Structure 1
């Protein structure tokens, strides 16, 4: 009996996962700052340490070279035709080449199996191997089949996953039939099928907030693969949700990423004491601006004290250098930060600064609570809005890691900042940046959120998601959003792993995510955000 003709979403080989994570972030830093991807499960079925929450989208504006390795002239023409359907909505260009290097390499055969690697995962595949396969296209293939199969596979190449792995999809799989199919076509064992077919991505990893039955990315499967005989065919063209998603993922003007992650300059498994890069401002300032820095990603070994410092230096009117360092015997696998830049003029609405517990007492004389009154350089006409971001931590390894930064007593001329710990934590030092602006300033909103908004601290979980609504009428278009940590409470039994991200950003609000991975126990964490247009 002929095997059904269905698509396979190809996983990165486990030995190349570190490379995939690193290349994804180097290609598009938003892959770590905005998109949270699901865990990668090893062949043994357990979540591996290599499974970082990394997205796989290309940099907007990118030209992707496509080399079609074989196939008739008609099939080659159809591949070009339907691949370019995506470019009508995405700020991506496909350049079809006959020789030289190519990010996407397309094979056409009669194997009966069509598949593709996902987004930037293609960069990890050796140049002599193909990254996409069409296993049943012939010159007599119906036009609607060319449309649905080619458009679907190039959706994978742009970073879209199978819609059947949306958390909203409820498909009654006949697992034995599915295991049998993938053993015959891919030589996958049950654990690999569980990972790549049955595993649902978290709500932040799918391209849609709800299951879209009209999506071109809907996985087509026959009734023999379900327990109740239900089946789906391939959709033939992009749905409206497909179009809006891909336009948002690849906007006409690429987003300025005011952020840095150490994996932009090195893999996580090659830790160093210092990491840095130059950050160019999107526009030139009249004088060197002020920059507030906040941590939004941490992956630190529990074998020594928790030590991390995110900061900028060499600030000019056009650029700055952003650093994330550690010191002494700490192993910093990876870390990330956000940057908010404000003009330094005397009449600027935004004022920024920072406070360290070492401004109050030496690091070797730790205390539980530290507070300081901050006086604004320029007083406001009324109490402003103020947010705080943690950017430097030094905590003992042998107790849980607990720290929070808050503000109180906000007045027109200043406020009180607090950096505290609790329980038996030893907080040697911490630093927090602050950002202030007029409470009635149009086009700006800010706030904070916490895992404790959705669950108690003593019910830890890896993935935490909530909704932050912006004030009514604050925005008429989706704003830029910067988020960074203001609190954490994590067990010291395992490594400290924490990541912030946001998605579904619109003029009304955003979905926030505070996540960990592998075996970290995340009791609670909180963040502050600033949104602006």
Structure 2
């Protein structure tokens, strides 16, 4: 059963074996379930229709690699020319998602504690409505205070003055934290089928600036409106407040039509005996829920990448999924875990390059005098 008004759908004509990349930016409507091939690979099944040899028009289904199969008189009949049901491109559901990056370029000698950086970001295109803006930290350069023998990681990113043309992107530290530089990925979301928000730990636990707070497990986030199918959920830090050993991660579980569980967990393991345990003051998590029905191909691609390398090495890798990435992708990347020694400066970044329709290269690295026994960090990215 279709859940939207009739005018929000249209038929798109195709021929020969179905390939999601042929749809470009069109969003096909799934029929429900998957087809499992002989090699045990699963392919999403979509709604299709076509004309039979007797002249009648029948509905059926299609998935990647086959022509449409129409249901008639108890049989499944293949047809070479067919149409697939998609969301109409003439209504609000054709709205966009634009992504970009804001990076500061400060000289360390001029940086003072509790620095605040901001920039006016102009959107590539004016939107029809005021978009929702999501921010995620993907690079941190925070100074170690040798006079006190530790460093508090206190950094947050947030938008201001969001309009159809622009917004102000802010990154700031507070108290004694020296934030030399940071990099923030942003997403301006006009598409009403996407859900997004910021979960603040202090909304559910009381801030304790001396002892910190306990880890949070399985706090339920409820979507403003339900999805037709369980969405893909992206989570990343937009605000971190920790001291002692730098070890913190966040993740989403139990995703369904109505919501998901979010966890914020501080690490228990330390690299050095004289290093204090992780103290969690607060954190905020940016989350984005994307309909799992097909953007730029079979489905939006969401994945976590993680680096676990010995000291003085960087984490690198290649992530690819030819069936999922479809057309050229826009990437929104954010850190979702760190696990590093607090003995030196915290300099950590995640980056991507070589993005094509079949995959990309990714890198999680530290630089400068950052001292780690193991480089352990993670990031998440949706391809939009």
TM range (shorter): 0.5 to 0.7
What's 2:26 paired with? none
Does residue 288 of the first structure (1) align with residue 130 of the second (2)? yes
Distance in 2 (CA, whole Å) between partners of 1:473 and 1:528 is 16
1:215-248 residue CA offsets vs partner (Å, 9 max, x unmatched): xxxxxxxxxxxxxxxxxxxxxxxxxxxxxxxxxx
Distance in 2 (CA, whole Å) between partners of 1:416 and 1:368 is 14
Residue 489 of structure 1, CA deviation: 0.6
Does residue 320 of the first structure (1) align with residue 173 of the second (2)? no
Matches within 5 A, 1:322-361: 322-343=169-190, 348-361=192-205
Does residue 528 of the first structure (1) align with residue 380 of the second (2)? yes
Equivalent in 135, 142, 164 of residue 300 of structure 1:
142
1:482 alignment partner, SS class: coil
Distance in 2 (CA, whole Å) between partners of 1:368 and 1:516 is 26
- Structure 1 vs Structure 2 CA RMSD: 1.7
What's 1:63 paired with? none
Distance in 1 (CA, whole Å) between partners of 2:162 and 2:362 is 30
Distance in 1 (CA, whole Å) between partners of 2:375 and 2:175 is 27
1:391-447 residue CA offsets vs partner (Å, 9 max, x unmatched): 111111xx2201111001100010011111121210111111001111122213221
- Indicate conservation of the 8 Å contact 1:462/1:517, yes or no: no
Distance in 1 (CA, whole Å) between partners of 2:238 and 2:263 is 14
Equivalent in 318, 321, 325 of residue 467 of structure 1:
318
Residue 473 of structure 1, CA deviation: 4.9
What's 2:363 paired with? 513
What's 2:262 paired with? 417
TM-score (norm 2): 0.66
What's 2:295 paired with? 442
Distance in 1 (CA, whole Å) between partners of 2:278 and 2:306 is 20
Distance in 2 (CA, whole Å) between partners of 1:514 and 1:483 is 11
Distance in 2 (CA, whole Å) between partners of 1:518 and 1:473 is 36
- Indicate conservation of the 8 Å contact 1:360/1:370, yes or no: no
2:323 alignment partner, SS class: coil
What's 1:276 paired with? 118
Distance in 2 (CA, whole Å) between partners of 1:471 and 1:437 is 20
Matches within 5 A, 1:186-225: none
Equivalent in 232, 241, 255 of residue 385 of structure 1:
232
TM-score (norm 1): 0.48
- Indicate conservation of the 8 Å contact 1:357/1:370, yes or no: no
Residue 268 of structure 1, CA deviation: 3.7
| Larger helix share, 1 or 2 | 1
Residue 281 of structure 1, CA deviation: 1.1
Distance in 2 (CA, whole Å) between partners of 1:371 and 1:471 is 33
Residue 461 of structure 1, CA deviation: 3.7
- Indicate conservation of the 8 Å contact 2:99/2:188, yes or no: no
| Larger strand share, 1 or 2 | 2
- Indicate conservation of the 8 Å contact 1:491/1:523, yes or no: no
Distance in 2 (CA, whole Å) between partners of 1:473 and 1:383 is 17
Distance in 2 (CA, whole Å) between partners of 1:358 and 1:371 is 15
What's 2:107 paired with? 267
- Indicate conservation of the 8 Å contact 2:200/2:285, yes or no: yes
What's 2:338 paired with? 488
1:270-320 residue CA offsets vs partner (Å, 9 max, x unmatched): 225100000111122222211111101101012231110111111111110
2:177 alignment partner, SS class: coil
2:136 alignment partner, SS class: strand
Higher relative contact order (CA 8 A, sep 6+): 2
What's 1:400 paired with? 245
1:461-510 residue CA offsets vs partner (Å, 9 max, x unmatched): 4311011113515313x312221101111110001000111112111111
- Indicate conservation of the 8 Å contact 2:301/2:324, yes or no: no
Residue 257 of structure 1, CA deviation: 6.7
Equivalent in 349, 370, 374 of residue 499 of structure 1:
349
Residue 370 of structure 1, CA deviation: 4.4
Identify if the C-alpha distance between structure 1 residues 361 and 473 changes in structure 2 by more than 3 Å, giving closer, same or farther.
Answer: closer
- Indicate conservation of the 8 Å contact 2:325/2:383, yes or no: no
Distance in 1 (CA, whole Å) between partners of 2:131 and 2:111 is 31
What's 1:146 paired with? none
Distance in 2 (CA, whole Å) between partners of 1:442 and 1:518 is 39
Residue 518 of structure 1, CA deviation: 1.9
| Structure 1 stretches of 4+ moved >3 Å | none
Kindly name which structure, 1 or 2, has the bigger radius of gyration based on alpha carbons. 1
Q: Which runs of 5+ in 2 are unaligned?
A: 1-97, 146-150, 269-276
- Indicate conservation of the 8 Å contact 2:122/2:167, yes or no: yes
